[in-house]
Amino acid sequence: MHEMSLAISIVELVSDKAQAAGAQKVTVVELEVGRLSGLLVESLVFCFEAAARNTPAEGAELLIRELDGRGSCQVCGHSFVVDSLLAQCPECGGYVVETVQGKELKVVALTIDE
């Protein structure tokens, strides 16, 4: 399961940061997840809770902000919201669209208890 390996990476990352800061516990983890990332948010939350057991991140609240997909047409330069990686430009009908947002998964903020 893709979400599980990502959840483990997130737990390792935030645990390292908490330890580096001399904290015992991570209380809140804020994430940005793009809608084109293919990740299921519910599944990610479930996996995070499981992966966080017996780590400083155990019991941490996961705040997830979902980002819309955005594409930029390479033909006419139009920028628009896309819901798949195979988007068509609504302006010129072109299919050469670069995805500029929506595939990310990143930790944007962390609250730790010292």
3-class DSSP string for 77-90 = CCEEEECCCCCCCC
First to last CA, the chain: 33
In the complex, the smallest distance separating the C-beta of residue 8 from Zn ion, rounded to whole angstroms, is 40
Subset of 19-48 contacting Zn ion (CB under 5 A) = none
Residue matched to tokens 């990476």: 9
> Should residue 96 be labelled a site residue for Zn ion when binding is judged by CB under 5 A?
no
Under the binding rule (CB under 5 A), the answer on residue 81 touching Zn ion is no
Among 10, 89, 110, 112, which residue sits at the site for Zn ion (rule: CB under 5 A)? Answer: 89
* CA 106 vs CA 73, 87, 89, 94: distances in Å: 25, 24, 27, 30
Smaller CB separation from Zn ion, 75 or 85: 75
In angstroms, what is the minimal distance from the CB of 80 to Zn ion?
Answer: 9
What residue ranges bind Zn ion (CB under 5 A)? 73, 75-76, 78, 89, 91-92, 94
